[in-house]
Amino acid sequence: MTKLTINGIERVSDAPEDTPLLWVIREELGLTGTKFGCGAAQCGACTVLIEGIASFSCITPVGSVGDSEVTTIEGLSPDGSHPLQRAWVAEQVPQCGYCQSGQIMRAAGLLAATPQPDRETIRSVMSANLCRCGTYPRIFRAVERASREV
Amino acid sequence: MALNDMTLTRREMLKGAGGLLFVVGAGGLASVADAGGETARATDALAWVRIDPEGAIRILFPATEMGQGSSTALPLILAEELDADWDDVVIEQLNRDDRRFGNPAFGNVLYTAGSSAVYGYFDALRQAGADARAVLMQRAAALWQLPVSELRTEPSAVVHDPSGRRAAYGTLANGAGPLAIGDRPAPLKDPADYRLIGSATPRRDVPGKTDGTETFAIDVRVPGMLYASVLRAPVEGETLVSMDTAEARAAAGVVEVVSLPDGVAVVAETPWAARRGRDRLSVTWTETAAARDWSDAAALEVYAAAAEDLTSESAVWRVEGDAAAAIAAADRTMSATYRSDYAYHAQMEPMAVVADVAEDGSRAEVWAGTQTQSWTQRTIAEVLGIGADAVTLHMMPMGGGFGRRTALTQEYVRDALLCSRATGRPVKAIWTREDDLKHGWFRPAAAQHLRAGLNAQGGLSGWQHRVATPSVIAYFNPLRWQQVAPQDIISMRGAESKFYAIPDFAAEHVITERMARVIPWRGIGAAYTSFAAEAFVDELAEAAGRDPFAFRARLMSENPRGRHLLERVRAMSDWDRRHPGTGRGLAFAGYGDTMAAGVAEISLDRDSGVIRVLSFWAAVDAGLLVSPGNARAQVEGGIVFGVSSALRERVTIERGQVQQENFYDYEILRADAVPDIDVYFATGTHRPTQVGEAGTPMVAAAIANAFHDLTGRRLRHMPFTPERVREALGA
Ligand code: FES
Ligand code: FES
């Protein structure tokens, strides 16, 4: 049994400790906004914040999380009103949308560390996350828009 | 599930909810039913539109959503002619194979592909909306005892200006009133009066895709659900010889091991347990399948030889005049062979399906994200041997499609069904990324041989384009192949070069042996035929000593809109101002009826052989843009897809096995390599053409031509990997 703090709420998981946090979040706890894309730290669809740092939940064993605070897309704001989420809507970023929870969480990690990133920093940090629909140009603009607000 | 089928809605409606149901028949809108009355009860009907007394206007979305945005664009077209207030519109997914709502562009099969949803449904949806509006106006006329000619509509209301009367659609839909549809189709709006079509109306699905609430098939959870992970035969055609399942069964959480036609599934209480159980299977497969001989390199050699052998048999794709004679009579003859490798869709959501089969196998409920209600329903019915009535389908939004989810027979659906039947519980079957890649169905490898003549004035004299690649349709939809053979639009699109007027022209399909699983991929044939054709045009222009714009413009003597795109992209890219250390290349392609002119600007690291695309300018004529903002997003995304494919994407096959595993060895474009993209859309027409795939086909040739501009060398094998680039440089 593992105790977790997810989006400020204490949760308990029955999963073996080597189970990736991703599967616990999604299938055991039902927070399906965090996606499975590769299972190998390659695509970022599974990105969550762990103690505010964008992390690949697909390679994070649930047993390693300990007391760290985990934030998923569902916990970023109560009603989709985080500046990044509003910017994502304003720039009409998503196409299929599958990668976008991860993109937004990656961007949240970036803005937490660097509130006013330049375009090159955005490009380089966001390169951890893949978008097959090719929404990258809009992602850049949305991060810049949000950075003007936070 | 949150997604309501109209039939479910109807059931609740029969409790006496009232409202109006606009029933569709074979030829479009057939009748109107009082949703609370006998007519509706007697009709097993879905509806294009249902208007509730409270004013909600429910519009059916007949396609499926994979990111292309037609779940907003299609209802918007109907809402335009209905004169609905967009805020009143509720979009409802069509969840079954009901051909009355089929895609006219595909013989009414429920099939979302070929960038066809908006243009395919454009007329049907406008007419349905206009007819529904006419009924509402008649009801208002009857209510007020006024001639219908004195009435007009404004968003979601009928209005009589002289008396100031106004009735909301919801009010008119409730209670008694005329239900008849006019004998003739109701007149359509003047496009100048459009307020939704062509507007900046945001996509409906965007908020749910920013807060994590959008539900894809992989996200579906139903009570009592188990998870399946499938170990698949490593080579197509191999079957199980023996297996030892003891260790897998002993693993914590494992419930069952299920034999499948081409694999073994471990079904467990959690996805991770299923995966761990699968790792513990020990399975022996046959080693005799013919596919053991398949290799990508050998395939390309065979295909290239077939393309270059002018006597090898081919199916005519398009012919005008006498290409061979014109080339023979020309002052100069040019020829070149282009190759392209297998490519993988890399849709971000790996295949995942939830199936719940009744214990006796007589019914099934399925949640799947596919590009076709028709073939998914067919797969379910065939696997279980049940009728369509026994299938409840939920068409989920897809985490990308790009053609991967189009096949007649869908093994990912089949596996979930078989696992559910074997365990008597609902099962979610999830493919790993490795499964998705190793057992992918791909854009086919192709070798293309082009020949053309040039006359003394530098003009083109004859064009022959031979495409050696398998028939994609014969494999991914054999039923369809029976109807269309030997014309394979999936393998050949683009080779018709229809935007150019070339009097002596031949495009031929040398149908080669299939040496991988093949299926449509974004841009279908044009993803490689336009690469070869437009790279070759560049070679011809150079040989003729002509500017690439002028050479192409001359081929477009009858295509003023095409010439306009050339002029625009020349201006946008500031073509005549060269930047030191960069190369510029032009290509003119598009998709279907949509034309696109693109200019790529690249830089090159000569030591590593890495090409970087710095900028991409595109001028696109997609006709009327129903959703201009989304059209732009689609073209941007199509360009990114094209750059990714041109520079990196390559599936290799050895002894019948795909060599790549995951995104570390099948690399798709990341944010740091995305060019600056600038897109212009031509205006001035009243019909939409294809958008979703229009951005992709031009890209590879534009990059290859830019490489020639920079280095004087030609790249004739896509993707332009660093090794191939270094080879072209002679390094
Ligand atoms: S699923 Fe974690 S990085 Fe891809
Ligand atoms: S929006 Fe489809 S993968 Fe990013």
pLDDT in tens, B358-392: 999 999 999 999 999 999 999 999 999 999 999 99
Q: Which residues of B touch A26 (CB under 8 A)?
A: 219
Q: What distance in Å separates the CA atoms of residue B558 and residue B565, rounded to the nearest whole number?
A: 14
pLDDT band at B8 (very low <50, low <70, confident <90, very high): very low
A42 CB within 6 A, ligand 1: yes
pLDDT of residue B34: 66
pLDDT of residue B9: 37
Chosen from A96, A110, A145 to mutate, greatest number of chain B CBs within 10 A: A96
Domain B217-288+351-430, second-level architecture: 2-Layer Sandwich (3.30)
Give the distance from residue B612's alpha carbon to the nearest chain A alpha carbon, in angstroms: 14
- Mean pLDDT value of segment B458-467: 96
A131 CB within 6 A, ligand 2: yes
A105 CB within 6 A, ligand 1: no
Task: Tell me whether A11 touches chain B (CB under 8 Å).
Answer: no
Q: What distance in Å separates the CA atoms of residue B484 and residue B470, rounded to the nearest whole number?
A: 15
Q: Which residues of B touch A30 (CB under 8 A)?
A: 221
Q: A5 near A69, Cβ under 8 Å?
A: yes
Amino acid found at A121: T
Q: What distance in Å separates the CA atoms of residue B356 and residue B376, rounded to the nearest whole number?
A: 15
Q: What distance in Å separates the CA atoms of residue B50 and residue B53, rounded to the nearest whole number?
A: 10
Q: What distance in Å separates the CA atoms of residue B526 and residue B521, rounded to the nearest whole number?
A: 10
Give the distance from residue B642's alpha carbon to the nearest chain A alpha carbon, in angstroms: 10
pLDDT band at A147 (very low <50, low <70, confident <90, very high): very high
Residue A90 burial (10 A CB sphere; 0-12, 13-18, 19+): middle
Q: Which residues of A touch B214 (CB under 8 A)?
A: 97
Q: What distance in Å separates the CA atoms of residue B712 and residue B729, rounded to the nearest whole number?
A: 9
Task: Tell me whether B344 touches chain A (CB under 8 Å).
Answer: no
Interface contacts A/B by beta carbons within 8 Å: 184
- Mean pLDDT value of segment B325-343: 98
What chain A residue is nearest to B428 in terms of C-alpha separation? Answer: A27
Q: B138 near B149, Cβ under 8 Å?
A: no
Q: B524 near B489, Cβ under 8 Å?
A: yes
Positive or negative, the CA dihedral A136, A137, A142, A147 is positive
**Which of the ligands is closest to the CA of residue A129?**
1
Does residue B553 sit in helix, strand or coil? helix
**Nearest by CB: A100 against B210, B432, B664:** B210
Tokens of B363: 């019914």
pLDDT of residue B14: 34
Contact A100 B674 (CB under 8 A): no
pLDDT band at B672 (very low <50, low <70, confident <90, very high): very high
List, in sequence order, every residue forming a beta bridge with B450; answer none if it has no partner: B336, B465
Does residue B166 sit in helix, strand or coil? strand
Which sequence spans correspond to the domains of chain B?
3-211, 217-288+351-430, 296-343+442-729
- pLDDT at B3 exceeding the cut of 60: no
Residue B144 burial (10 A CB sphere; 0-12, 13-18, 19+): middle
Tokens 């854009």 belong to which residue?
Answer: B443
Q: Which atom of ligand 1 is nearest to the CA of A37?
A: 1
Q: B639 near B696, Cβ under 8 Å?
A: yes
Task: Tell me whether B608 touches chain A (CB under 8 Å).
Answer: no
Tokens of B470: 């398998």
Does residue B341 sit in helix, strand or coil? coil
List the end-to-end C-alpha distance of chain A, in Å, as a whole number. 38
- pLDDT at B605 exceeding the cut of 60: yes
Contact B432 A129 (CB under 8 A): no
Q: B652 near B660, Cβ under 8 Å?
A: yes
Tokens of B283: 């399975």
Same fold, B3-211 and B217-288+351-430: yes
Q: What distance in Å separates the CA atoms of residue B81 and residue A142, rounded to the nearest whole number?
A: 34
pLDDT of residue B13: 34
Tokens of B372: 């076709």
A130 CB within 6 A, ligand 1: no
Contact A98 B350 (CB under 8 A): no
pLDDT of residue B12: 34
- pLDDT at B423 exceeding the cut of 80: yes
Give the distance from residue B664's alpha carbon to the nearest chain A alpha carbon, in angstroms: 7
Amino acid found at B4: N
- Among the listed residues A63, A74, A70, the one whose alpha carbon sits nearest the alpha carbon of residue A32: A74
Tokens 């030892």 belong to which residue?
Answer: B244
Give the distance from residue B83's alpha carbon to the nearest chain A alpha carbon, in angstroms: 25
Chosen from A48, A98, A106 to mutate, greatest number of chain B CBs within 10 A: A98
pLDDT digits (tens, 9 = 90+) for A79-128: 999 999 999 999 999 999 999 999 999 999 999 999 999 999 999 999 99
Q: What distance in Å separates the CA atoms of residue B605 and residue B585, rounded to the nearest whole number?
A: 17
Task: Tell me whether B199 touches chain A (CB under 8 Å).
Answer: no
Amino acid found at B660: Q
pLDDT digits (tens, 9 = 90+) for B686-718: 899 999 999 999 999 999 999 999 999 999 999
A139 CB within 6 A, ligand 2: no
Does residue B504 sit in helix, strand or coil? coil
Q: Which residues of A touch B349 (CB under 8 A)?
A: 35, 37, 96, 98
pLDDT of residue B115: 86
What chain B residue is nearest to A93 in terms of C-alpha separation? Answer: B206
Distance of alpha carbon B365 from the chain centroid: 25
Which domains are delineated in chain A?
A: 2-76 (3.10.20.30), 83-147 (1.10.150.120)
- Mean pLDDT value of segment B146-152: 97
- pLDDT at B71 exceeding the cut of 90: yes
**Nearest by CB: A126 against B207, B347, B671:** B671
- Among the listed residues B307, B411, B427, the one whose alpha carbon sits nearest the alpha carbon of residue B365: B427
DSSP per residue, B246-301? HHHHHSTTEEEEEEETTEEEEEESSHHHHHHHHHT-EEEE----GGGG--HHHHHH
In the reported structure, the alpha carbon of residue B209 is separated from the centroid of ligand 2 by a whole-number distance in angstroms of 10
Give the distance from residue B678's alpha carbon to the nearest chain A alpha carbon, in angstroms: 10
DSSP per residue, B72-123? HHHHHHHHHHHT--GGGEEEEE--S--GGG-BGGGTTB----TT-HHHHHHH
Mean pLDDT, all residues of chain A: 97
Q: B404 near B347, Cβ under 8 Å?
A: yes
pLDDT digits (tens, 9 = 90+) for A25-82: 999 999 999 999 999 999 999 999 999 999 999 999 999 999 999 999 999 999 999 9
Q: Is the preceding peptide bond at B486 cis, omega within 30 degrees of 0?
A: yes
pLDDT digits (tens, 9 = 90+) for B566-582: 999 999 999 998 889 99
**pTM score above 0.90:** yes
- pLDDT at B731 exceeding the cut of 80: no
Report helix angle B526-543 to B548-555, nearest 10.
Answer: 110
Range 274-313 of B in CB contact (< 8 A) with A: none
Domain B3-211, second-level architecture: 2-Layer Sandwich (3.30)
Tokens of B639: 């360009």
- pLDDT at B42 exceeding the cut of 60: no
- pLDDT at B24 exceeding the cut of 70: no
How does B119-134 read in b/e, with b if 16+ C-beta sit within 10 Å? bbbbebbbbbbbbbbb
List, in sequence order, every residue forming a beta bridge with B49; answer none if it has no partner: B22, B59
Residue B730 φ/ψ region, left for φ over 0, alpha for ψ in the -120 to 50 degree band, beta for the rest: left
pLDDT of residue B519: 98
pLDDT of residue B176: 75
Could you write out the three-class secondary structure of chain A? CEEEEECCEEEEECCCCCCEHHHHHHHHCCCCCCCCCCCCCCCCCCEEEECCEEEEHHHCEHHHCCCCEEECHHHHCCCCCCHHHHHHHHCCCCCCCCCHHHHHHHHHHHHHHCCCCCHHHHHHHHCCCCCCCCCHHHHHHHHHHHHHHC
Q: What distance in Å separates the CA atoms of residue B356 and residue B336, rounded to the nearest whole number?
A: 54
- Among the listed residues B273, B277, B270, B266, the one whose alpha carbon sits nearest the alpha carbon of residue B221: B270
pLDDT of residue B46: 60
pLDDT digits (tens, 9 = 90+) for B606-616: 999 999 999 99
Q: What distance in Å separates the CA atoms of residue B471 and residue B492, rounded to the nearest whole number?
A: 9
CATH class for the region spanning B296-343+442-729 = alpha beta
pLDDT digits (tens, 9 = 90+) for B198-229: 999 999 999 999 999 999 999 999 999 999 99
pLDDT of residue B38: 42
pLDDT band at B174 (very low <50, low <70, confident <90, very high): confident
